[in-house]
Amino acid sequence: MQWFLPTTGDSRSSLLTGSATYNLADAVSSNERDASLDYLVQIARAAEQMEFDSLLIPTGSWCLDAWTVATAVATQTSTIDMLVAMRPGLISPTVQSQMIRSFERLVGDRLRLNVVAGGENAEQRRFGDRVDHDQRYARAAEYVSIMRELATGKSVDFTGNHFDIEDAFLPTASKMPPVYLGGSSNAAIEMAAEHADVFLSWGEPLEQAAQKRERVVEAAAKHHRELDYGIRFHVITRPTSEAAWQVADDLVASIPKQQIDEATKEFANSGSEGQRRMAALRPETYDREALTLEPNLWAGLGLVRGGAGTALVGSHVEVADAIERYLDRGYSQFILSGTPHLEEAYWFGEGVTPILKQRGVLS
């Protein structure tokens, strides 16, 4: 189980950031808790205490720099891994490899990489990147290939469509961290099948998620590879189902209609296949029944939040049951979050984790 680090700030409300068109000022103004080092370390230590394996640290123009946060937080924790989201192509793969090696030397073997090939076009342009959607995945494939070669400690020469590297090397060999990559387009799936260690999906309904996984399994088999599979959910878990759903209802009630309307327009113009799939899960009405896609899977956060927009909602037993359903369909890693992230880490860790351990799902 893995947790999320909210590097834009945190809140008790549903005004969650994560949308590609948010600017940082708007994102911060919607949160009651600043993304200070003290608060982020508090969440990280809570997640570590609750036995989460790693922390996903996001990337984007709307949040703090993932590498800076990861290094700072890692020095204040003991065992939990940092799953650092990074955009290939914004800096040299040689520099990226130096950063990985430096983290390893200073912090230890506690790093995983979430390769984010690209986001919305508007978001990419903020970084001066105008490479189109499919070419971003082709570039990411070259990028990961170069980093894997550099990790061996050997001199690397590489000439591709996006990079021309000559006599690049690291002073010593370095461990290549596990590579996580998500996406719903054919380009994303092909890149993941050949170069990723873990394929990530946003939290789609069970059959839809299972079908996506099968697409990746088939693509990976062509390269004689087997991947692990992870899925991204928010979570609202309480001792009783009624208490959990009341929290969900209160979140929807707190969202101004104007914000829903603005998000609807934004998602309709999205260039991301994954975002279009998330947006397609949004109902026409916003009552509990309409927002419940299937037992304990709720789409309320997707009314306003870009990216992952679904949550597992219910009693501790019901949320454990839902996780087992995805486990049965081949998803072995779960990246979870809640609002506020500090409190929800304890709700899950104290409520759901013991049930999963008792059932033999977690060791």
- Predicted confidence at residue 276, as pLDDT, reads 57
- Predicted confidence at residue 255, as pLDDT, reads 73
- Predicted confidence at residue 167, as pLDDT, reads 97
- In the chain, the amino acid numbered 153 is G
Q: How sure is the predictor about 130, in pLDDT bands with cuts at 50, 70 and 90? A: confident
> Where is pLDDT greater, at 266 or 89?
89
Is the confidence at residue 166, as pLDDT, over 50? yes
Interatomic CA distance for residues 150 and 163, integer angstroms? 14
Give the chain's domains with CATH numbers: 2-231+333-358 (3.20.20.30)
Q: Tokens 């304990």 label which residue? A: 296
pLDDT per residue as tens digits for the range 184-210:
899 999 999 999 999 999 999 999 999
Percent of the chain predicted with pLDDT > 70: 85
**CA distances, 262 to each of 223, 253, 308 (Å):** 42, 17, 17
Q: Tokens 């390769």 label which residue? A: 115
The mean pLDDT value for 241-258 works out to: 86
- Predicted confidence at residue 23, as pLDDT, reads 41
CA-based nearest residue to 233, from 324, 328, 299, 329: 299
Q: Which residues, other chains included, contact 271 with Cβ-Cβ below 8 Å and sequence gap of 6+?
A: 120, 121, 133
Partners of 333 in beta bridges: 230
pLDDT per residue as tens digits for the range 1-16:
999 999 999 988 654 4
Contact predicate 286/257, CB 8 Å:
no
pTM, whole model, 2 decimals? Answer: 0.90
- Predicted confidence at residue 32, as pLDDT, reads 82
How many of the other CB atoms lie within 10 Å of CB of 104?
A: 17
How many of the other CB atoms lie within 10 Å of CB of 155?
A: 12
CA-based nearest residue to 88, from 122, 135, 120: 135
What helix, strand, coil percent values describe the chain, rounded to 5?
45, 20, 35
Is the confidence at residue 288, as pLDDT, over 70? yes
pLDDT per residue as tens digits for the range 227-245:
999 999 999 999 999 999 9
Percent of the chain predicted with pLDDT > 90: 71
Interatomic CA distance for residues 4 and 56, integer angstroms? 5
Backbone torsions φ then ψ of 353, nearest 5 degrees: -55, -45
Q: Tokens 């860790």 label which residue? A: 349
- In the chain, the amino acid numbered 354 is P
Q: The tokens of 271 are what?
A: 């260039």
- Predicted confidence at residue 207, as pLDDT, reads 96
Which DSSP string do the residues of 31-60 spell out, in sequence order? -SB---HHHHHHHHHHHHHTT--EEEE--S
